[in-house]
Amino acid sequence: VIRCRAAVAWAAGKPLSVEEVEVAPPKAGEVRIKIVATGICRTDDHVLEGYFPNVDFPVIPGHEGAGIVESVGEGVTSVKPGDKVIPLCLPQCGECSFCLNPESNYCLKSHVSEPQNLLPDKTSRFTCKGKQIHHFLWVSSFAEYTVIPEYAVAKIDAAAPLDKVCLLGCGLPTGYGAAINTAKVKPGSTCAVFGIGGVGLSVVMGCKAAGASRIIAVDINKDKFAKAKELGATDCISPRDFKKPIQEVLIEMTGHGVDYSFEVIGHVDTVIAALASCNMNTGICVMIGVPASGSVISVDPMLLLTGRTWKATLLGGWKMRDCIPKLVSSYLEKKFNSDLLITHTLPITKVNEGFELLRAGK
């Protein structure tokens, strides 16, 4: 058993509490990882707010991490102690009907099909003050050590800087892949990105990599515009600067609407605006943001009957175990610069300050 620090969420609506926890050794088919760095993703904030009815408290959140294998359980062959790895919040078991389908990046072992609040044998590897603590998406990267099933771990290049590539566990591949894999953005096309936080900026990078000629970033926080332009946005607009709906503004700017729109906020009204802003026949709108639990979206059927495509993406469409090592190699080859997404670096003891910065749009 390893004793280490972890940021524990004891209940919804409460700040995280940094505690000493005990992390049990890995059982058969499991890997124990020393987490070196983790990003803070809006999804972790949703956990703290109690957005997800299927997350059990107390829990150690965090799902965007990178670390080093400390030990492995019986039967583990794909990684060994000392390997650099990224834990995967979307597993790839390689055996279910989805994993065997080359077009799918879903896995039936994922949280959407079965809760990942405990490891597959329905027990936890975390205890604190004599209490069982739940896992989050099997990752729980807000702990200095965590235990994860082997099929939710990807071995990466030993040269990768863990404090930078931790973002490749969720935010970067989600946004970048939404443009490249889900929308399949074509060279010379026009794109609109609603919400330019970490994931939205990753969409901008993906659109640029795909050769889009015009990338319009839409956000009410103008402090984010400079970074969006640095990463490839050609225009930056705030809905607050206009008296008319933002979809009308985008249609005027582009003639008939954009070829591709991306909603990276998770608000029902911006989802509709994004759908309406892409061209009525061949336009593709990709939903990335997570609306509040229980949200319902009402859509005028004419928005779709003219031929528009409305779709969503799950972690950017990547088969995670296969693709994350390749994305890390692309990062090392400087094919994209995700380092620009990192605004602050804090010790685990200041994790609540990190969430305050996130909520403040900083």
Query: pLDDT tens, 108-137?
Result: 999 989 899 999 999 999 999 999 999 999
Give the tens place of pLDDT for each residue, 234-243. 999 999 999 9
Amino acid type, 310: W
Report the alpha-carbon distance of residue 248 to residue 237 in Å, rounded.
13
- Collapsed DSSP state (helix, strand, coil) of residue 290: coil
Contacts of 116 (CB under 8 A, 6+ apart): 110, 135, 136, 137, 138
Q: Which amino acid does the sequence have at 52?
A: F
At 229, is the pLDDT very low, low, confident or very high (cuts 50, 70, 90)?
Answer: very high
Q: pTM here? A: 0.96
Tell me: the pLDDT tens digits for 282-331?
999 999 998 887 899 999 999 999 999 999 999 999 999 999 999 999 99
The residues with which 262 forms a beta bridge, in sequence order, are: 193, 286
244, with CB counted inside 10 A (0-12, 13-18, 19+), is exposed
Q: Which residue reads 């969430």 in tokens? A: 355
Residue whose pair of structure tokens reads 């906020």 in the numeric block: 265
> Can you list the alpha helix ranges (DSSP code H) found in 222-335?
225-231, 246-254, 268-277, 302-305, 320-332
Answer whether 152's CB lies under 8 Å from 315's CB. Answer: no
What local confidence, expressed as pLDDT, does residue 51 receive? 83
**Averaged pLDDT, 32-60:** 93
> Distances in Å between the alpha carbon of 242 and those of 13, 190, 261, 266, 329?
35, 21, 19, 21, 42
- Cβ atoms of 141 and 64 closer than 8 Å: yes
Mean pLDDT, the chain, whole residue set: 97
- pLDDT per residue over 144-174, tens digit each? 999 999 999 999 999 999 999 999 999 999 9
- As given in the structure block, the two tokens for residue 20 are 């000493």
pLDDT, position 185: 98
In percent, the amount of the chain with pLDDT more than 90 equals 96
For residue 149, the SS3 value is strand
Reported as a single tens digit per residue, the pLDDT across 106-115 is: 999 999 898 9
Whether the pLDDT of residue 266 is over 90: the answer is yes
Q: Give dist(CA 319, CA 107) in Å, integer.
A: 9
DSSP state of 143: B
CA 190 to mean position of chain CA atoms: 24
Give the pLDDT confidence of 61-87 residue by residue, as tens digits. Answer: 999 999 999 999 999 999 999 999 999
Residues 96 and 93: their CA atoms lie apart, in Å, by 7
In the chain, the domains with their CATH numbers are 2-171+317-360 (3.90.180.10), 183-312 (3.40.50.720)
Please, are residues 300 and 275 in contact by the beta-carbon 8 Å criterion? no
Average pLDDT of the segment spanning 176-192: 98
Give the pLDDT of residue 291. 87
pLDDT at 52: 83
- Residue 53 above 90 pLDDT? no
